[in-house]
Structure 1
Amino acid sequence: MHASWPELDTTCEEQLASGCARLGLELPADTRARLLDYLQMMVKWNRAYNLTAVRDPEQMVTRHLLDSLAIAPYLRGQRLLDVGTGGGLPGVPMAIVFPQREFHLLDSNGKKTRFLFQVKTALGLANMTVHQARVESFQSDAPFDAVLSRAFASLADMVSGCRHLLADTGHFFAMKGAYPEAELAAIAELCSVEAIHRLQVPGLDEQRHLVDMTLR
């Protein structure tokens, strides 16, 4: 535990462990510890950087960590891009849980990318790369197997803004709240919807869905 970071009480540890169990994720203790280290950094930096409107650490476990971890069983691909990542959601939790995969986190906000560089360094996340750019102008050396987003934009905006970054056989993964019926209708001619997973986030009494799409 880093002395300069605010202490989380054991409630957060227990909440994360029980939430992972309810999600069917068998995460090693050291992986859960790194997730909590990330949360501690977010609590500390949030005071100056406004990374999230959620201030309470226990709420952060539910709304940030468990909400991100809920998509873990459905992700595919080796090289993944998290667009509009903000404070690193879901990219940082995914990079911690899947150290064998390559995660690129993209955001145009300099404060948020500076925070993410600190997270990468402090947690030794060699599989995580941080980019500061607008998605429309961002160019990658190689296409991505998956592009994921959490409350980044409408499905249509996500597809139009990110399609130049997706491999031919790649997947879009969009995290949504309520079932996005109108948004799905808007991309019907552009994309094939491979699946829509209804997510149950432990401790959260709100709808969550993950839309899995490929380009037509």
Structure 2
Amino acid sequence: MPQGGPPPALTGTEQRAAEQIFGDRLPLATRYVAHLCSTGIEHGLLGPREIPRMWSRHVLNCAVLATELPSGATVADVGSGAGLPGIALAVARPDVIFQLIEPMERRVQWLDTVTRDLGLDNVTVIRARAEEVADEVMADVVTARAVSALKKLLPLTAPLMDDGGELLLLKGRSAAQEIDAAAKVLKKYRLRRPQAELLGEDLLDEPTTVVRIPRR
């Protein structure tokens, strides 16, 4: 079993970004990073090589999405895994309700343990596949990160979105190609043309790419 380690120290750029994103909840975010670097590694949620870049590549990369969430909104995070972006966002936005959807039992157990330890009363963990809860979950915003290509991801996420809601999907450099490949699926689910946006350009060394897709 891979062994975890202590969380990395924040660099100057990361410190400034973390302070702006998390504010007085930065100690809670630091505690979450400690979980990721220890039990998260031991449970196989992330590889040990990710420890040095846990802040930059994972937590801050996700948490920068916090400014895009409406106050009081309900957010469904599909394939939540290590709580990225769900827990990172829940720490940054205690005024938003999060539903973390994850089918794997050991991941669900880890998510439950971490959310309890962090005292995140704005988080509910749901053990299910996204398609199994399409009739139950109606979220204002649906998020996902590193789940699958957009063409395959839309059938999992779009049915969870309430009327007037939107998808905010964290993507990499292939976002434009994924958008082109998903044209037929977008039409099927009555979704508008996606917009690929960069978030955190003034905060992060590597901005976060988000694909924003409102319902028609």
TM-score normalized by structure 2?
A: 0.83
Change (3 A) 1:54 1:211: farther
Counterpart contact for 2:78–2:100, Cα < 8 Å? yes
Cα distance in 2 for residues equivalent to 1:34 and 1:14: 19
Residue 159 of structure 2: which of 158, 164, 171 is its match? 164
Structure 2 match to 1:12: 10
Return the offset for 1:12: 2.9
Separation in structure 1 between the aligned mates of residue 197 and residue 76 of structure 2, nearest angstrom: 20
Q: Structure 1 pair 19/143, CA: closer, same or farther in 2 (3 Å)?
A: same
Return the match for 2:106 from 106, 111, 118: 111
Partner residue in 2 for 1:94? 89
Specify the alignment match of 2:179 in structure 1: 184
What SS class does the counterpart of residue 157 from structure 2 fall into? helix
State the alpha-carbon separation in 2 of the partners of residues 8 and 162 from structure 1: 32
Moved more, 111-120 or 131-140: 131-140
For the aligned residue pairs, the C-alpha RMSD in angstroms reads 2.5
Residue 19 (structure 1) shift: 2.6
Count how many residue pairs are aligned between Structure 1 and Structure 2.
205
- Which position in structure 1 is the counterpart of 2:29? 35
- Could you tell me how far 1:139 is from its partner in structure 2? 4.1
Q: How far did 1:81 drift?
A: 0.4
What amino acid is aligned across from residue 17 of structure 1 in structure 2? Q
Quote the offset at 1:75 in angstroms: 2.9
Judged with a 3 Å threshold, the aligned counterparts in structure 2 of structure 1 residues 171 and 35 are, in CA distance, closer, same or farther, namely same
Secondary structure of the equivalent of 1:41?
helix
Q: Which residue of 1 aligns with 2:210?
A: 210
Cα separation, 2, equivalents of 1:124 and 1:140: 28
Could you list the per-position Cα deviations for residues 16-70 of structure 1 after superposition, in whole angstroms to 9, with x for gaps in the alignment?
422336xxx35323x1100010111122213421111254533101111111122
Report the alpha carbon displacement of residue 8 of structure 1 after superposing the two structures with TM.
4.1
Amino acid paired to 1:88: G
Change (3 A) 1:52 1:142: closer
Aligned partner of 1:64 in structure 2 is 58
| d(CA) in 1 for partners of 2:18, 2:147 | 25
CA distance in 2 between partners of 1:136 and 1:175 (Å): 20
Higher helix share: 2
User: Taking structure 1 as reference, are residues 38 and 26 closer, same or farther at Cα in structure 2, changes over 3 Å only?
Assistant: closer
Aligned with 1:126 (options 121, 125, 140): 121
Shift of 1:183: 1.7
- Distance in 1 of aligned mates of 2:134 and 2:21: 36
Partners of 1:96 and 1:83 in 2: CA distance: 17
Partners of 2:51 and 2:205 lie apart in 1 by: 14
Counterpart-to-counterpart distance in 1, 2:40 and 2:91: 20
Q: 1:57 to 1:47 in 2, by over 3 A?
A: closer
1:48 aligned residue: 42
2:132 corresponds in structure 1 to: 137
Matched, 1:149 2:144: yes
Query: Identical aligned pairs, as a percentage?
Result: 23
Change (3 A) 1:172 1:44: same
Give the conservation status (yes or no) of the 8 Å contact 2:108–2:127. Answer: yes
Give the conservation status (yes or no) of the 8 Å contact 2:141–2:168: yes
Q: CA separation of 1:46/1:120 partners in 2, compared to 1, >3 Å: closer, same or farther? A: closer
